[in-house]
Structure formats: structure tokens, C-alpha cells
Amino acid sequence: MAYWFCLNHHAVEGPEGCAYKDRLGPYDTEEEAAHALEKVKERNEDWDNDPNWND
């Protein structure tokens, strides 16, 4: 089963959740989905500090 993180409700959802446009995922586990916003923050910081993206 796949899991998503709902950006409207700040909750983990299964496939029957909110519209896909309002969710992050899919993730393999509920735990991964629960930490979706942390992963987004990490990726944004990595991109902000990547010399290939900063001219």
C-alpha cells in the first residue's frame, strides 16, 4: 500500500485521501509520509547550496 502526506490536513493518507494535487508522495510507509515536509526542507536546502543551481 502507498501513503501520501496531505498538505491541507497535515496528515498521512492512503489512496482514498484528498486530491493528488494536494498531497506529497507516494511513500512506501506511513513513517516516510509523516516526514514528508522534513524531506522537502532537506531537498530545498540541498538545492539552495548546490553550486550547479547557483550561478
Give the pLDDT mean for 19-46.
96
- Which pLDDT score, from 0 to 100, does residue 51 have? 86
The model's pTM is: 0.82
Q: CA-CA distance, 38 to 52, in Å (whole number)?
A: 23
Query: Which residues lie below 8 Å from residue 5, measured CB to CB, with a gap of 6+?
Result: 11, 12, 13, 23, 24, 25, 27, 33, 34, 36, 37
